[in-house]
Structure 1
Amino acid sequence: MKSIKINISQIFVGSLMAISCCSISACTSFLSVDDYFENTTQLDSVFKRRDLVEQYIRGAAGYLPNEGNLWTSSPTPFQGASDENFTSWNDDRHAGIKFLLDEITPFNNYFNNYTNYYQGIRRANLVLQRINEVPDISDVDRRDFMGRCYFLRGYYSYMLLLQYGPFPIVPEAPFAVDAGTEEMSIERNTYDECVDYISENMEKANEFLLDRREASADMNVPDKGAALATMSRVLLYAASPWYNGNHFYADWTRKDGKHFINQNADNSKWGKAAVAAKRVMDLNRYKLYIAVKEKDTAPLPTVTEDPNFNTRDFPNGAANVDPYRSFSYVFNGEVPRLLNDEIIYSCQPAVGGDSPMWIAAPTYLGGGNGLNLTQDAVDAFYMVDGKDINASSTKYPYPASSIAGDAIGGSDLVFSGFTLKNQTAKMYQNREMRFYATVGFCHSFWPGTSYTGSDASLKNQEVTYYADGSAQPAQNFPEDYNRTGYTSKKYIHSEDNLKANVRTKAYPIFRYAEILLNYAEALNELNGSYTSPTTGITVTRNEQEILAAFNQIRYRAGLPGLVSLPDQATMRQLIKRERQIEFMSEGKRYLDLRRWGQDAMDAYNRPVRGMNVKARKAARKDFYTVTVLTDKLTRRSFAHKHYFYPIPRTALDRNSKLTQNPGW
């Protein structure tokens, strides 16, 4: 038999049983020699022309999940399985809820990304192996194409790590077609080895990729910043308690005795994470998006603890900032992606029935009315002066429970183009601007001004979630109602109307706010100093560095900053809270809770609470009573197995050396 050499990633690793050797058309057997020859011929044609190679790379990127599909037809469970929310349906289109209802098993096919991610890796590998065969390609394009493939290889590996934990790293050395199954089976690498592999690929991507993409058509193609931002997130996660010296996994080892999760906490990992974030900052091309205050901007609160807050311009204060517009414009499509220097890497979420707007909008406005934010998420937002609702100030007090549901009365309040209706409950008055940009509550105003028809009920609506409110479900869809009295408006523009037009949005996979908080967290956790052996960058737990990064987030939100650095434990909690608020409904919360360890157990095993949506308008006080929900959709639980998603049973069956995640 003639010896044929092909890469292992074309044959087998985990559930790579489904990975074909094809590039243009599908083939039926991944071990078929005839198919291999046929598709090799097709690949030979691809690598004769630059434009076909670029098409092939775009095809390789086609296995990336659309991370902007947060709730409906989501490719990952992370947002649907967050303590921030739950959906009103437990079905295949909203399967994220199944994770914490303990309906996920290795045998069902929900969020089965294992094969796709390895297919993407295989395609990237092929280009890297054959890019030098292309005759009509410039050196600039060759380098950029290589950078894109290194990025894809690293990013698919990163996605494997997020969902499944330690994964088998595909070797680049080829195997013969007649190699045995045992020879081609690969054991999982350790978590740290996977992190190193991702970092190595992102370093190479950073070396070869373009500095930036100028054309709007290429906005979703990675550049150097995307590679460095991925490293920043991966290294921050790797430094976190669940993956760094976690003795819960003391018995989880490879056959060679290596622990999948290292057992000795290494504080220098926080230094590596800080350096990675600083490298993004040092590019000097990203910044928080700031809308300068206008005549209708709400006045900043009067505070005494931060003298810079009201007197200095951003980034040293908030005197020139319109906090509502600054935050909301990052997400609602008001500012085109090309003009938004906060977004480092993005994708475009689905429109229509899979979009974030559809699940959040009421039925009579064309939506699914099926997204429920929890009371815990709503209560996380600060008062307008930066105080916790449970320790509010006398000037901006959070109302007592006896009057919390009373209407604020008077005229509607209008600021920064946002309308707070006079029937809004007092518990939602004087909250920070990110609250109004993120949360839809009872008596929220939905302008929907793109509708120009004659039906007045399709725009400028005050949506209510009482049992007899305007957001009642349609008669033929009785389950389509809001369970908590809260939804997410983060991705909704005032013009957006599902009965008319909706703005194009860019979902920010990485944005500069994350880099700043990554930097602040990593420095806060670092004991002493750390010098990177490759970049020479030195970082320390420097008070001014931490405050400068942290306060930018606060000032953009219209909140006073910190004037001095508190102790490490206090600052840790402040950073965690800031991440919870800043990144709400962005798919990051589950990943943060998990990496912090015990935080996930605490958050997910608390009762789910919301407003009493069974109360009618006439019983307003009853509606505004914080209620523990006993709906079957809220009977969530979190066990140790939920720290990782189960590896598909089909993958385990085809790789004798692959082991399942603990608890599954």
Structure 2
Amino acid sequence: MKNIYFKLIFLFLGLLLSTSCSDYLDKESDTELTLNGVFESKTKTENWLAGCYSRIPDPTWGYTRSLGWEILGDDMTPSERWRQYDWQVIPFVLGDWSVGSQWSPGYWNNLPQRIRECNLLIKNIKPLPEQNLTEDDVRLMIAECRFLKAYYYTLLINTYGPVPFSPDEITPVDYNLSDLQVGQTPYDEIVSWINNELKEVEEILPASYADGRKYGRATSIMCKAVRARMLLFAASPLVNGNQDYAGHVSKEGTPLFNASYDANKWKIAADASKDLIVSAEAAGHKLYVELNTDGGIDPFLSCQNLHLIEASKGNKEVLFARPSVESGEYDRHTAPGGAGGAGGYGVTQSLVDAFFTANGLPITDSQSGYVETGFSGEDGYWTNGATKWNEVKSPGLVTLSGTYNMYCNREPRFYLAVNFDGAWYTDGDNAGKDKGRKLEFFNGRKDNNNTHDAPQNGYLARKRTDPTRNPVLGYFAPRHGILYRLGEAYLNYAEALNESNPGNADILIYINKIRERAGVRTYTTGASDALHIHVDNDQESIRKIIRMERRVELCTEGIRYDDLRRWKLAETVLNGPFYGMNFNGKNAAEFYNRTAYQTRVYKKEFYWFPIYLAEIEKNPNLVQAPFWDK
């Protein structure tokens, strides 16, 4: 629980533009009396810094239940009737989204509070030698706050586009209301400040900490990771030469987006991603890999456990993590009802279709071997090295005889991401004993009780879930939440390089690093063979395989929605019917039919979150996000 110092400092922020000056001054007087006391104590100073970190999103439950990024995209789909439990973005995907819609993360109000909190620490912190708070400690804590300010601004501009921007300002006691009524700063100006700020701060912060208690604290690698992702977004079509925003200007007539395309932004993004990769690998980061007994990569354990194993236990792929997350709630809602879970958090049919077949080809390729209908006549095994992933049933087993063919002969990441009818499901308990059974998603069967706590389109999410969970016993193993990882950096680099320097050999090198770990054939510009797939070495062909790889490798991690936005594809991909198997089907003939379970709506204005109408009414210098006021 936050202590009284936080409450006193920030009580005024929720009332800032809705209370009188005298009310604000009365509260600020109390605030000033306590502020000096905070920074006379090492413990209270550290608690203050902890509060500065508190708005880092939860990338397990937060990205899905609260922020809603993966629901807004086309990877994950919750039970539609969960909206009654305050799943606020479910109406958004159905087109029920307005300038008055509630969204509990509330970045517009909440992130500036944390930015101000960072500024107060920067202004007031001082060494306390008698309490063992040294000059070096102070220097690093200031750098951490500078990182957090820059990071929070990336979240703001990623959500709203241009925002009011005063990165070093602390509202004075004797403020005038007009001083707070400022308009937005152009998007590119904020990007430039964040970029420069993070480049400065990364020279101060260490690449890692020897003290394990500091895991999750800001590092130079985190600075580079945030920069690289932001610059990739800034180079992309949504904000780089988008003519749709040519007339979007401030109240003073200043363009808030640059409508002129700048090809150099892709080079800047590529350079930032390469710098991140080189620095991260020099600091010991690498793709997480587990090996089979024959010394080869086990793609199942590698791709599963990179999301479950923490850095202290050997996972060097993680670049930026939140140590404390609500992973138990994610595990509960993705667990089937027959195992005691809420059982209604699934993945979309389009994600099911996105995974490659076992030979590394998309299901649309005539050479992929994909068969959609009918049922397998025998158990299916992964033959490229025995895996311990499913050894409770049989080593290497991925599908049982009688499995719908759509789910057979697929790549490892498919089986790690999707729980489908007939899949072998392992229930763990807190004693570490395993049992298993087939999932039963037909209506009225064990895992479909015909309510909202059942797989609405015939699928549940498996990726990032803990195989030892046991909802009946209330056991959910705690773990960290990954915000940035090296695998994403490889794909970011490949994309930016293909846009800025097509034909560069690094592009396929870094895509292939991801595919090799995943156990699928790598790409080559030469002839296809048992280990390689031919791809034409032109920009459009490479762009296509990069986007396919991102869809599969990064699915359900909070990234897909931003990809669709920045590529300007959301209006196409997120509009219309979404499909799955037939929830009401009581037998195979009824269940195994592509059925539209939901019709989604995505309008041009939805690329950015709107500014609440109440904020617009309080501040005449704000302009609404593009197209929301039409």
The 5 A counterparts of 1:595-610 are 595-597=566-568, 599-610=569-580
Which AA in structure 2 matches 1:626?
A: R
TM-score under structure 2 length normalisation: 0.87
Match of 2:545 in 1: 574
CA drift of 1:363 comes to: 1.8
The 5 A counterparts of 1:360-379 are 360-379=334-353
Instruction: State whether residues 346 and 508 of structure 1, in contact with CA within 8 Å, keep that contact through their aligned partners in structure 2.
Output: yes
Match of 1:306 in 2: none
Match of 1:41 in 2: 33
Match of 1:227 in 2: 223
Which AA in structure 2 matches 1:370?
A: G
Match of 2:111 in 1: 117
CA drift of 1:238 comes to: 0.1
The 5 A counterparts of 1:43-122 are 43-70=35-62, 73-74=65-66, 76-88=67-79, 89-111=82-104, 112-122=106-116
1:505 aligns with 2:484: no
CA drift of 1:570 comes to: 1.1
Change (3 A) 1:163 1:490: same
CA drift of 1:661 comes to: 0.9
Which AA in structure 1 matches 2:519?
A: G
Which AA in structure 2 matches 1:109?
A: Q
Instruction: State whether residues 127 and 133 of structure 2, in contact with CA within 8 Å, keep that contact through their aligned partners in structure 1.
Output: no
The 5 A counterparts of 1:608-623 are 608-617=578-587, 620-623=588-591
Change (3 A) 1:30 1:556: farther
Change (3 A) 1:409 1:468: farther
Please list every run of 5 or more consecutive structure 1 residues that lacks an aligned counterpart in the other structure: 1-9, 21-26, 296-318, 527-539
Match of 1:583 in 2: 554
1:435 aligns with 2:414: yes
Instruction: Give a deviation string over 1:607-637, Cα, whole Å, max 9, x none.
Output: 21111232223xx1332222223xxxx2211
Instruction: State whether residues 333 and 344 of structure 2, in contact with CA within 8 Å, keep that contact through their aligned partners in structure 1.
Output: yes
Instruction: State whether residues 116 and 169 of structure 2, in contact with CA within 8 Å, keep that contact through their aligned partners in structure 1.
Output: no
Change (3 A) 1:586 1:463: same
Which AA in structure 2 matches 1:493?
A: D
Please list every run of 5 or more consecutive structure 2 residues that lacks an aligned counterpart in the other structure: 1-8, 391-396, 526-535
Match of 1:290 in 2: 289
Aligned partners of 1:30, 1:601: CA distance in 2, in Å? 47
Give the root-mean-square deviation of aligned CA atoms: 2.7
Change (3 A) 1:99 1:134: farther
Aligned partners of 1:203, 1:452: CA distance in 2, in Å? 47
Match of 1:493 in 2: 466
CA drift of 1:178 comes to: 4.2
Aligned partners of 2:22, 2:600: CA distance in 1, in Å? 40
The 5 A counterparts of 1:44-443 are 44-70=36-62, 73-74=65-66, 76-88=67-79, 89-111=82-104, 112-132=106-126, 134=128, 137-170=133-166, 172=168, 177-283=173-279, 284=282, 285-294=284-293, 320-331=296-307, 333-334=308-309, 338-348=313-323, 350-351=325-326, 355-393=329-367, 397-399=369-371, 401=372, 404-410=373-379, 415-418=387-390, 419-420=397-398, 421-443=400-422
1:656 pairs, out of 609, 617, 620, with 620
Change (3 A) 1:662 1:147: same
Match of 1:6 in 2: none
Aligned partners of 2:537, 2:492: CA distance in 1, in Å? 18
Which AA in structure 2 matches 1:293?
A: N
1:464 aligns with 2:440: yes
Change (3 A) 1:546 1:601: same
CA drift of 1:339 comes to: 2.0
Instruction: State whether residues 220 and 346 of structure 1, in contact with CA within 8 Å, keep that contact through their aligned partners in structure 2.
Output: yes
Instruction: State whether residues 446 and 462 of structure 1, in contact with CA within 8 Å, keep that contact through their aligned partners in structure 2.
Output: yes
Instruction: State whether residues 520 and 550 of structure 1, in contact with CA within 8 Å, keep that contact through their aligned partners in structure 2.
Output: yes
Aligned partners of 2:498, 2:236: CA distance in 1, in Å? 12
TM-score under structure 1 length normalisation: 0.83
CA drift of 1:71 comes to: 6.3
Aligned partners of 1:203, 1:30: CA distance in 2, in Å? 41
Match of 2:504 in 1: 543
CA drift of 1:408 comes to: 4.0
1:483 aligns with 2:452: no
Change (3 A) 1:552 1:635: same
Instruction: Give a deviation string over 1:355-380, Cα, whole Å, max 9, x none.
Output: 22111111231211111311111000
Change (3 A) 1:410 1:230: closer
Aligned partner of residue 635 in structure 1, secondary structure:
strand
Aligned partner of residue 372 in structure 1, secondary structure:
strand
CA drift of 1:133 comes to: 6.2
Match of 2:529 in 1: none
Report the count of equivalent residues.
590
CA drift of 1:212 comes to: 0.5
Of all paired residues, the percent bearing the same amino acid is: 28
Instruction: State whether residues 125 and 138 of structure 2, in contact with CA within 8 Å, keep that contact through their aligned partners in structure 1.
Output: yes
Which AA in structure 2 matches 1:121?
A: I
